[in-house]
Chains A and B, each alone.
Chain A
Amino acid sequence: MISAERAIKTLQRDTTISSVLRAVLFGGMFAAAVTGVGIVPVMVLLGCGVAWAIVSMQAARRSYLMGDSPSLIASGQYDEAEEQIEKEIRSFWQFKSVKLRGLHHLAVLRHAQRQWREAAILSQAILRQRLTTMPGVARTTRLMLADSLLELGDLPGAHHALLSMYAQKLSLNEAMNLLVVQLDYESRIGAWQAMLRNLAHKVQLAELMPSNSAARVQAMLALAARQDGKEELAQWLRRRAELLADVNELTAHRPMLKQLWI
């Protein structure tokens, strides 16, 4: 099992090597183009072009193969995902974006395995990089960081990670994940009325979520409704939660929800 620290070090090492390699290739091509005519410059240019094309094609092929690990994680095949991600991280990548994606997959895996500390460290390392060409990865990582910090009991850190999400245009999946983390955070600080704001939309989003998230969101909304004196609404939401997930499991992860079933 690769550790977060080891994976981050590999990223830094490969980033440096690929920068040097890129500089050498571009430098060679530029020098060949400007130093005039003859067989040697043409050969250098051709050699650099071919080397670039080979490395790019290899990266594209591996990048395609990497597509498997998120679906392995989604279907709960953590061992297979671990093996594949480890291979992705340990092999050399010319493009930083591909390497970063491997690290992101590792963070997703650790998050799914409930290894919050590792997930937070990896997410922070990813967010320290320039992610302008990977806005989707940046948003998902920020959400994962907020959730991991919440699990670790770092409320200010989670709040800070969540803040930047509100200014961004989110996909449906991201909006659903944000709702889960946001309600979790708000329930910990007792912002019950804020939780019930725009309720119909929140319930509609919950209906699209996987069972555990849908149950957790609706249980938290039930708790907020009860705190706000809306007993009928609280009962309806609680009933939905118990039809979607095992109550013992739900309350084991979020002990504050126990009061709904007392």
Chain B
Amino acid sequence: MPWFSYVALSFLLMTVIGLFAGSNPSPFFKSMQVTTSIMIVPALVAAAVGAIVNVRRFRAQQATLDAIEEMIQLRRWEPAGMLLDRFLSMPMRSVGLWAQALVDLASLLGRHHRFEDAIAVQSFVIENELLDDQSDYYVRFARAMAMLREDHLVDADRAISDLRRRDPERMSGGAGGLALVEIYRDVKTGHPDEAIELFAKYLPKMQQQLGHRVADAHALVARAHDLLGQEPQARAAYERATVLAPPSELQRRYPELVKLAEKYPATVAPGEVA
């Protein structure tokens, strides 16, 4: 029980004693009533101070978590990992903060290619319903990607069907994100025609919803064309992908793209931004 509750209980107890003492005219009860009346004020002050301290501690944890998320976005993986390790070792002020920290942990595990561990963390978060709908959808999407990376194709297929049932149009990055997972599955399972078809159908959505991650879709469709021996299309798609993301980053995300890098030239970023 938090100490705030002890203060509240003491406050209640003192009030009851005060009321009881007030009904008795003897000097002992009179003095007891005076004492409880005086003690109520510090109890109230203590409760208010306690609430302020709790709010400040919550805000400090929220700020730390925000800092971790910014580090992850800026690809400063090492400091983010160290800070997250310390953060998760502390008692959490809310379940929401804890769940978000676990989502960040899963991203870091994925970055270090520990996909099995990432899947375990993501499954824990999903099964315990720790997140709101939007965040839950994102975690399911990331888990499906991790499953594909680890060749858990049956599980991934089930995860994709589950994503489709969750009204992706209402989720941020929804339909575009789902199309990206499906394209990856089709490339992975040797169905390049379906991947190309999905790409053509969902490109505007992916363009709109995925930001620079639309590079992944261009790179995967390049691989699909390459599997079909359509080299000019594969070359053009790989060129588009590497305009948006460096080849090293694309290959880190999808090892299947290593073969493309050996075959087709990548777009080189100008010196001013390299």
Contact = CB atoms under 8 A, between A and B. Distances in A.
Interface stretch (A124-132, A154-162, A185-193, A205-213): A205-213
A236 B243 contact: yes
Nearest to A80: B170
Contacts of A36: 37
Contacts of B49: none
B175 to A, nearest CB: 11
Contact of A172 (B73, B240, B244, B274): B73
Interface stretch (B112-120, B154-162, B202-210): B202-210
A112 interface: no
Contacts of A45: 15, 40, 44
Contact of B240 (A29, A233, A243): A243
A97 to B, nearest CB: 11
Interface string A237-251: 001100111100000
B6 to A, nearest CB: 16
A211 B273 contact: no
A260 to B, nearest CB: 15
Interface residues of B, number: 41
Nearest to A210: B211
Nearest to B48: A52
A209 B209 CA distance: 11
B172 A75 contact: yes
Given A29-B44, A209-B211, A233-B272, A240 B244 contact: yes
B211 A211 contact: yes
B273 A200 contact: yes
Contacts of A204: 74
Contact of A208 (B11, B44, B73): B73
A28 B270 CA distance: 70
Contact of A42 (B15, B171, B172, B209): B15
Contacts of B170: 75, 77
A167 interface: no
Interface of B: 11, 15, 18-19, 22-23, 30, 33-34, 36-37, 40-41, 44, 66, 70, 73-74, 132, 134, 170-172, 204, 207-212, 214, 218, 240, 243-244, 267, 269-270, 272-274
Interface of A: 29, 33, 36-39, 41-43, 45-46, 49, 71, 74-75, 77, 171-172, 196, 199-200, 203-204, 207-212, 214, 230, 232-233, 236, 239-240, 243-246
5 contacts: A42-B22, A203-B273, A204-B74, A240-B243, A246-B207
